[in-house]
Amino acid sequence: MAKKYGALAQKKVKKAVHEMKTGKLRSGKSGKMVTSRKQAIAIGLSEARKEGGKVPATKSAKKKTPSKKKTSKE
């Protein structure tokens, strides 16, 4: 079975988590400090994606199909 994540992704995530632990990792536009481990991992994977690393696509929300309403004819 093939691996999901490549070497570049592992390096980027490791770097991002290390920066978060040392207090140097900041989020995108706002520039706020990142305190969540999950957010640090997401930032690392995003950077790897931008550089063309082997990373699965982000999960998108499922689109709901409009339900058909039953109309009663009396």
pLDDT, tens only, 42-58: 999 999 999 999 988 88
Using a 10 angstrom Cβ sphere, with 0-12 exposed, 13-18 middle and 19 or more buried, the burial of residue 41 is middle
DSSP classification of residue 4: S
Q: Is the pTM of this model over 0.95?
A: no
**Cβ atoms of residues 45 and 9 within 8 Å:** yes
Average of per-residue pLDDT across 1-28: 92
pLDDT band at 59 (very low <50, low <70, confident <90, very high): confident
Domain definitions of the chain by residue range: 7-50
